[in-house]
Structure 1
Amino acid sequence: MAGKNVLVKNIASLGIVQIANFVFPLISVPIISRILGPEKFGIINFVGAFVVYFNMFIGYGFNLTATRRITQFTDTVERRQLIFSEVFYCKIILFFISLIIFTNFVLFLPALESERLLSVYAFIFCISSVLTQEWLFQAMQDLPRIALLNLLGKTIYIISVLLLIRERSDYYWQPLMLSASQVIISLISFVWAKKKYKIKLIFIPINRCFKLLWDDKTVFFSLAFTSIYTTVNVVVLGVLQSKESVGFYTAGQRLISVAQLVITLPLAQVFYPYISKAFAVNKELGIQTVQKLLPIVIISTVLLAIVMFVVGENVLMIFYGNDFAQSVIVFKILTFIPMFVAINNVMGVQTILNLNLDKIYFKVIAINAFVSVITNILMVHQWGFIGCAINWLFTEMLICLILYFSIKKEGISVINMKYFMLSHFRGYYNELAKKRF
């Protein structure tokens, strides 16, 4: 019963995060984009796309692998302390590697060299990746703390940005305030986690850190390739086309990403540790839990896609104004992205990774990332920022198909039609309401 209560409590806490994910962009994005215009908006998103790779590198997929190590085995203070220290020291190593590489990019890559100050401000964000303990709160299914920190960070960011950005030349404040707010919140989470879970940092030999990085390489590279096909579009577009084109593309992409975050965040932070524990009990229970989740994901995201497609043009014009009229077509092309991303998450992260079939997941993502880069270059050359949007949708659809047949090949079916029946939907929500999921 306690586990069921925790799930419902976490879902309720995540509701706070989801409200913040909706409301704060509604306030900040229209104001910032209208002040900066397509070109400056494109510049900060272009630089941000580079920093995403380093942020992902430092995170190294520990949100999945470290969470899995805690949830699938007996959790003790000693084990928790060991994993906490391993993750922290690994992140420090990865941060300094990132710092060296990024410094060379800023010094010698013309696209970043022309925006050195902006690039430095954006890179400061990576410090938060070292300090954040979101993965630990997630593993302990303590999402109220994540919700509170998330809300506090967004509040600090939005207030500072709205106070400081007054004209187009103020564009550098956006990455600086984003980085500063996240560093503050991650530092709070670090101290909070140590006190809450009685954790002390213990010395981890560097060879042990490298062994952990080697052991987790499959999940990391899977996430790295995912990052390639989701963010390389912006980099390729910025290199082959104008920064204004980047602005048009990222304006439409940004709104889609908000919807995508609202869908994928519950899957990552609530259901992943919960489903992971179900798989730890036995394989059959884990698969059944996934089968119950998938219909809800599919139906809710299809309805969301239809609504976004219908109201997309009006929403985008309200957000960005007439200067971003060319972003409408990008938004409409991408409306089904959250659906495919959510389904891919259920099949890939929730199912394949929890079955410890990491290599299968890696192969699927790696192949599609390679294909995506090639097709993206061709489509951007032919159709510009519209080609970017088409390529992302094509990639997610392809991943969805390959993941499904890869799981099927292992003798596992993630689709059970009886859970698509209305009676099962009612039963599912009634169980949640009674805290007996």
Structure 2
Amino acid sequence: MTRCSGRLRGLFRPHLATFVSFGAIQTAQLLLPLLALPWLARVLGPDAFGLLMYMSLVSVIIGLVMDWGFTLGAVREAAACRGREGALSALLGQVLSAKILLSSGCLLGSLALLPLLPHAAAHPGAYALAVMAGLARGLNPTWFFQGIGRAMRRMACWDVCSSALVLLLAFACVRAADDWPRYLLLTACCKGFAYLWLTARLAGRYRVLPTLGGGWRALARTRMLFAGTLASLVYNNGAQLLLGFFLPPAQMGMLVAADKIVRAVVSVSNPVTQTLFPEICALRGAQPGRAASMLRWSLGGTAAVMLCATAAVWFAAPWLIRLALGAAYAEATPILRIMAFLAPVLACNMVLGTQTLVAFGKERALIATQAVMCVLSLPMAAILAYVWGVEGGACLSLLVESGIFGGLSWSVLRFCPIAFFAPATKGAR
């Protein structure tokens, strides 16, 4: 037991500071907005709250498009370029150029979708604010700090402070049902300023000059990873947008709120994934045994923690709903109980997909699995919502992620079994 504990400390102690920083960022991005739910749900009422939750999906989708494949591909490249300022400067310039191109595409796409999306044409101002909040989200430079393995504390400080400011201003500015678009405005302004400031400092530090050609090259290099992001966007957020055609705003609000609660629980495991991803990329060639040991601990620990979290959420669902949303949202309790089972599946998928297949250069297997579920998710969403209503919508994510888990497990065993079963490297501790 002592020997096992010593090996575990040797594996993870060097990355403790980065882990803590990622934990703070996850708190800023998921848990702090979750603290706003009790206030927003009560002062807005079910209908206005449902509109806010639905419009927030637009922000999430645009943020994911802006991320492209950079949250994995650019991190992998930056990790390989550590210590070489010229290469890091070129990479940063290319990614920033690509984000400028992506923001233009998102604006044009948002205009085209305005008359098509439910509630967007009826609330064009709020829709515009949701688009701006998504663009602000897409400027997040965490990928660069993660790749170089430095200055994560600074990134975490700005992220936490900006999210805390959104929370405090929401208490002061959102006080009636008609105020719901203000929350989108606060998010766009606070997060946009923080990310723009950090990006400008990086651009000055590395003397970055954005170019059109560099942007296109960055997009081309990570297009396969974006295919996976696009598939994830469709079977998660796109399917939820489709549910809006079948479910009233009040039910959509309860569904999206329950999804946020469960994903906040899953976010507990995200710092582990984000901390270990660049390290596994660096170790898989030189020390495959050490990388495999990291992956085994990560998968086993993630599964155990998330199974306990599922049980806790299931039993505490009535109390959580009363605390987070209020007595008027009691119908959300069975929705939350269904979605609680998503936690271990989703968390394990992140280990098998990001930490394993992408880190070992087998992202095509991940993308193929996601593409299959992308194709199936939209008809599944329509059928489940039409036949079983909001309970069917609650089952959608669980069915999709379970299918992905099966595909990823098969892919790991088929294409890179060495990821988990590599022999120990001589001299490695």
Aligned to 2:207: 200
TM-superposed CA distance for 1:141, in Å, is 2.1
Q: Is the counterpart of residue 42 in structure 1 residue 50 in structure 2?
A: yes
Q: Is the counterpart of residue 375 in structure 1 residue 380 in structure 2?
A: yes
- With over 3 angstroms needed to count, the CA separation of the structure-2 counterparts of 1:3 and 1:152, relative to structure 1, is farther
For 1:299, the aligned partner's letter is A
Whether the 8 Å CA contact 1:42–1:244 is kept in 2: the answer is: yes
- With over 3 angstroms needed to count, the CA separation of the structure-2 counterparts of 1:148 and 1:3, relative to structure 1, is farther
Q: Is the counterpart of residue 247 in structure 1 residue 253 in structure 2?
A: yes
CA separation in 2, counterparts of 1:369 and 1:307? 30
CA separation in 2, counterparts of 1:111 and 1:29? 21
Please give the residue correspondences for 1:155-194 in structure 2 after superposition, counting only pairs within 5 Å: 155-194=164-203
Unaligned runs of 5+ in 1: 417-435
- With over 3 angstroms needed to count, the CA separation of the structure-2 counterparts of 1:100 and 1:231, relative to structure 1, is same
Unaligned runs of 5+ in 2: 1-8, 422-427
How many pairs are equivalent?
417
TM-superposed CA distance for 1:214, in Å, is 2.0
The two structures have a TM-score, normalised by structure 2, of 0.90
TM-superposed CA distance for 1:84, in Å, is 0.3
Whether the 8 Å CA contact 1:348–1:361 is kept in 2: the answer is: yes
TM-superposed CA distance for 1:408, in Å, is 0.9
CA separation in 1, counterparts of 2:57 and 2:266? 17
- With over 3 angstroms needed to count, the CA separation of the structure-2 counterparts of 1:67 and 1:380, relative to structure 1, is same
The two structures have a TM-score, normalised by structure 1, of 0.89
Whether the 8 Å CA contact 1:72–1:280 is kept in 2: the answer is: no
TM-superposed CA distance for 1:414, in Å, is 5.7
CA separation in 1, counterparts of 2:179 and 2:82? 51
- For the residue of structure 1 that corresponds to 2:417, the secondary structure is coil
Deviations 1:302-337 (A, max 9, x none): 111111111121111122112111111111011121
Aligned to 2:330: 325
CA separation in 2, counterparts of 1:217 and 1:129? 20
TM-superposed CA distance for 1:413, in Å, is 5.9
CA separation in 1, counterparts of 2:416 and 2:30? 39
- For the residue of structure 1 that corresponds to 2:245, the secondary structure is helix
TM-superposed CA distance for 1:282, in Å, is 4.4
For 1:343, the aligned partner's letter is C
Per mean C-alpha deviation after superposition, the further-off stretch among 298-307 and 122-131 is: 122-131
- With over 3 angstroms needed to count, the CA separation of the structure-2 counterparts of 1:282 and 1:252, relative to structure 1, is same
Q: Is the counterpart of residue 232 in structure 1 residue 241 in structure 2?
A: no
CA separation in 1, counterparts of 2:11 and 2:301? 21
* Percent identity for Structure 1 against Structure 2: 17
Aligned to 2:59: 51
TM-superposed CA distance for 1:25, in Å, is 4.5
Deviations 1:227-283 (A, max 9, x none): 211112321121122112211211211211211222224312x12122222224244
Question: Aligned-pair RMSD on alpha carbons?
Answer: 2.6
- With over 3 angstroms needed to count, the CA separation of the structure-2 counterparts of 1:19 and 1:174, relative to structure 1, is closer
Deviations 1:411-436 (A, max 9, x none): 506667xxxxxxxxxxxxxxxxxxx9
- With over 3 angstroms needed to count, the CA separation of the structure-2 counterparts of 1:415 and 1:83, relative to structure 1, is closer
- With over 3 angstroms needed to count, the CA separation of the structure-2 counterparts of 1:5 and 1:191, relative to structure 1, is farther
Aligned to 1:426: none
For 1:193, the aligned partner's letter is L
For 2:209, the aligned partner's letter is I
- With over 3 angstroms needed to count, the CA separation of the structure-2 counterparts of 1:21 and 1:315, relative to structure 1, is farther
Aligned to 1:7: 15
Whether the 8 Å CA contact 2:231–2:374 is kept in 1: the answer is: yes
CA separation in 1, counterparts of 2:139 and 2:65? 14
Q: 2:39 pairs with 31, 36, 55, which one? A: 31
For 2:296, the aligned partner's letter is Q
CA separation in 2, counterparts of 1:310 and 1:201? 52
Q: Is the counterpart of residue 68 in structure 1 residue 76 in structure 2?
A: yes
Please give the residue correspondences for 1:2-401 in structure 2 after superposition, counting only pairs within 5 Å: 6-17=14-25, 24-25=32-33, 27-73=35-81, 75-107=83-115, 109=117, 111-129=119-137, 131-142=139-150, 143-194=152-203, 198-204=205-211, 206-268=212-274, 270-401=275-406
- With over 3 angstroms needed to count, the CA separation of the structure-2 counterparts of 1:202 and 1:8, relative to structure 1, is same
Per mean C-alpha deviation after superposition, the further-off stretch among 246-255 and 395-404 is: 246-255
- With over 3 angstroms needed to count, the CA separation of the structure-2 counterparts of 1:22 and 1:237, relative to structure 1, is closer
Per mean C-alpha deviation after superposition, the further-off stretch among 47-56 and 85-94 is: 47-56
